[in-house]
Structure 1
Amino acid sequence: MTASDTETPGTIQRIVSATARGLALAGGLCILAIVVMTVAEVISRRVTGRSLGPVDELSSYLFAAGIALSLAWVLENRAHIRIDILYARLPGALRIVLDILSLLSLTGFAAILLARGWQVFAISWSSGSRSASTLGVPLVLPQGVWLAGIAIFLAVLLYYCTAAGLALLRRNPGWIVRHLSPPNVDEVVAEETRDLPKHGAGGGQ
C-alpha cells in the first residue's frame, strides 16, 4: 500500500466528519429555534392571550430540516438505533456481514427517499406551490433543505459503502468494526464517563 493509498481515505474521512459535524450543528440550531418559538408562543398566549402566528407550521419545517441535516452525523458516529441482542453473540465474521448488509439496506432506503423527495420538490417547483397558511411559504424552501440533507446523507453512505468494499478487498475487517459496527458496552460506558475525571477534579478544588 502506497502513501497515497493511506492519505486519500484519511483526507476524505476528515472532510466527511467535518461536513457531518457542521450539518449536525445546523440541525441542532433548528431544534433550538423550535424550542425558542414554542416558549415564546406559550408566554404570548399566557400574557397577552394572543398567538404569535403559525408556530406549528414553522416548527414542522424546522423539525424536518433538523432531522435531515443530522443524519450524516448520526451515521458517522454509529448512533443509528440497531437491535443487537443477537448481534453481540454472533461470530465476528458474521457480524461484519450484518454490518455490510445494514449499510447497504440503509443506502437503498436513502436512495429511494431522495428519489421520491426529488419528485415532490420538482412538482412544487414547477407549480409554485405554497403552504396553505397566512405565511404562504414557498414549499420548495423547506423541501429543498430537507432534500439537501438527504442527498448529503446518501453521499456519506456511498462513501462508507466504497470504503467498506476497499476494506474487504484489503482484508481489513478492523475498519468495518470501527466505522460500521454498533458501539459495544465498553465504548458506550467510555463515552458516557469520558468527562467524569474532569468534573471530579473541578469539584475537589
Structure 2
Amino acid sequence: MIAAYLAVERLLAWASALLLAATGVFLSWEVVSRYFFNAPTIWAAELSQLCLIWACPMAMGWALSERRHIRVDAVTRLLGDRARQVAELVALLAVAIFAAVVTVYGFDIFHDSFERGRTTGTMLDLPAWIPEASIPAGFGLLFISALVNMARTWKDGAPKPDGEIHE
C-alpha cells in the first residue's frame, strides 16, 4: 500500500515537472509572439499561472517523502536513533495537522467559488475554482504523505542525518 502511494507521488512529481516545462513554453511563446510578431496572446500568461498554481501543490507530497523540503537539522543531527525517530514523528505530525487544516479551509474556498460560479475576471475568464482546487488537492496529498511517512518512520526509524532516505 505504501509502495503504491509512493508510485502515485512520483507520477504527480513528473506531472508537476511537465507543468513547469509547459509554463516555460507558454511564456517563451508569449515573448516571441509579442516582440517578434507584435501579436500578444490572451492565454499564455494565465495558463502559465495556472500551471504554476497546480505544479507546486501537486509535488509537495513527493518533496516530503524524498526529504526535499527545507530542513533545519542542527539539533536532530546530534540525537541518537530513537530520539531522532521521535523528533521525526513529531515533525511529521505537525505537517499532517497543518495540511489537514489547510485542506479543510481550502476546500471551503474552492466549494464556495464552485457553487457561486465565480470566474477569474481575466480575458479567459476561467472558473475560479480551477486554480483554487489546487490547494485542497495538494494539501490533501501532503496530509496523506505525512501519514505514510509517519508509518515508514515508525516502522523503519528516522532517516539517517546524512540525508539518506528510506528504501
Q: TM-score, normalised by structure 2?
A: 0.88
Contact 1:68 1:146 in 2 (8 A): yes
Answering whether residue 110 of structure 2 is matched by residue 129 of structure 1, we say no
Q: CA deviation at 1:109?
A: 1.0
Higher normalized helix content (fraction of residues): 1
Q: Which runs of 5+ in 2 are unaligned?
A: none
Query: How far apart are 1:162 and its partner, in Å?
Result: 4.0
1:31-110 correspondence to structure 2 within 5 Å: 31-110=20-99
Question: 1:93: how far off?
Answer: 2.7
Distance 1:87 1:163, change over 3 A: closer
Per-residue CA deviation, residues 124-167 of structure 1 (Å, 9 max, x unaligned), is: 011001011110101122222443232222122223334544x3
Per-residue CA deviations over 1:62-109 (Å, capped at 9, x if unaligned) read 112101111111122121110112321233332222111110111111
Task: Identify which of structures 1 and 2 has the higher relative contact order when contacts are C-alpha pairs closer than 8 Å and 6+ apart.
Answer: 2
Q: Please, which of 152, 176, 179 is the counterpart of residue 157 of structure 2?
A: 176
Deviation at 1:113, TM superposition (A): 1.1
CA distance in 1, matches of 2:10, 2:129: 25
| CA distance in 1: counterparts of 2:55 and 2:14, whole angstroms | 9
Gapped regions of structure 1 (runs ≥ 5)? 1-11, 168-174, 189-205
**SS of equivalent residue, structure 1 residue 177:** coil
Letter in 2 for 1:120: I
Counterpart check, 1:116 vs 2:108: no
* Aligned CA-pair RMSD: 2.0
Report the TM-score, using the length of structure 1 for normalisation. 0.73
* Percentage of identical aligned residues: 25
Distance 1:103 1:155 in 2: 11
